[in-house]
Structure 1
Amino acid sequence: MRKRIKRHYRIARYVFYRETILEPIDHLWTFVGTFIAIASIGLLQQAGFTQQDSIFLIGSFGASCVLLFGATNSPLAQPRNLIGGHLLASLIGVAIHKLIPDQVWLASALAVSLSIVCMQITKTMHPPAGATALIANIGSEKIKNLGFGYTLTPVMTGVAILFVTALIINNIPSGRSYGVRSLARLKIAVKRRKGLNSLSSDKT
């Protein structure tokens, strides 16, 4: 038991250590990426969506920026998680609100808990998406009145801006990479599959 605790402690310490190894230039890229992402969403809202009562800048986008630009290598920040997590959470959040419109406490609890379970099942865990599901139930009346339009605007439109910004900014400095690891894994999987196919053909 003690060995297991010590092992988990060493792993946790190593992960924490790796996450906090930052060069001073990393702080600049974190600032630049976050500023551009949030400013772009805000400007888009100001330019064409002012009549929608400032719904474009939902709180979960700020939390997503923490992962995308502050913990770029985290599995929870990867494109699949960012896009899939917010998509699932927004759909579930709206669906629950439509089913239980008058019980905010119950709708909120169901929306968040179901979103987390669905993200676990689909391997799209993205913590800020929990807030996306919650906002669908506790947001302003204008947000609630959007219905499933909430998924398109502001959620997926904002997510697209976050994703493109992260893809550009995080791949400029040599010490960062975003989305690249996913492509590398895909290439490795394809090579392995080809290798297995060639082995099976040789056996036959």
Structure 2
Amino acid sequence: MLLAKLKLYLSKMQGGGNNSPHPIHWRNALCSWMGGFLGIALVGWMDSLTSLTTQDHLLLIGSFGATAVLLYGSPSAPFAQPRYVIGGHVICALVGVSFYKLMPDPLWLSSALTVSTAIVLMYLTRTTHPPGGGTALIAVAGSERVHELGYWFVVEPILLGVLLLLIVALVVNNLSPLRRYPNYWF
């Protein structure tokens, strides 16, 4: 009985046997490259205007790189839709800042509580955006400058950066006749 359950459990890890459904086309690749370049360039340029007096590049955070992959590389994916992108990042930033304010130490525990709570809140609000977990973690484990921002971190860099990336996604993803973005807003 136990051996049969273990065998069934392990068999799930083989996958469904299907090939990846992601079609490859040069126009999609070009739009992905152009979107990734323009989106990160715009965020980076805005960062250069706002970080003249500090070494922290708050708008150029790792989770935005992951968001760019979804927005420009897989624009039809559910996690790439505006509701998920905006909601996921904002919720995760709020959770991260709150946990840092309530319990900054020990870092391992506040980090684990932040990410796990952010996952549940994104799930319950139908805003699951995987890069949001990175945003939550940055709010807790980020630099002193991130911590000094407090809840302003939710507005700038998070909301500002996400809106810039979305504007580029709206423009670039609709250049190709093979793409349509977004599939839905809410």
TM-score, normalised via structure 1 length? 0.81
Query: Would the aligned equivalents of 2:93 and 2:158 in 1 still touch at CA under 8 Å?
Result: yes
Shift of 1:106: 0.8
Is the Cα contact below 8 Å between 2:27 and 2:176 reproduced in 1? no
The amino acid of 1:85's aligned partner reads G
Q: What is the correspondence of 1:64-143 to structure 2 with a 5 Å cutoff?
A: 64-143=67-146
Cα distance in 2 for partners of 1:61, 1:128 equals 7
Q: What letter corresponds to residue 115 of structure 2 in structure 1?
A: V
SS state at 2:179 partner: coil
Q: What is the aligned partner in structure 1 of residue 148 from structure 2?
A: 145
Identity of aligned residues (%): 40
In the alignment, what sits opposite 2:184? 182
- TM alignment of 1:138-177, pairs within 5 A: 138-177=141-180
Q: Which has the higher contact order (CA 8 A, sep 6+)?
A: 2
Unaligned ranges ≥5, structure 2: none
Count matched residues.
175
Q: Which of 88-97 and 50-59 deviates more? A: 50-59
What are the Cα deviations for residues 46-87 of structure 1, in whole angstroms up to 9, with x where unaligned? Answer: 123322421111110000011111111111111100000001
Question: Following superposition, which runs of at least 4 residues in structure 1 exceed 4 angstroms of deviation?
Answer: none
Identify the residue that residue 37 of structure 2 maps to in structure 1.
35
CA RMSD of aligned residues (A): 1.9
| SS at structure 1 position matched to 2:184 | helix
Structure whose CA Rg is larger: 1
CA deviation after TM superposition for structure 1 residue 43, in Å: 0.6
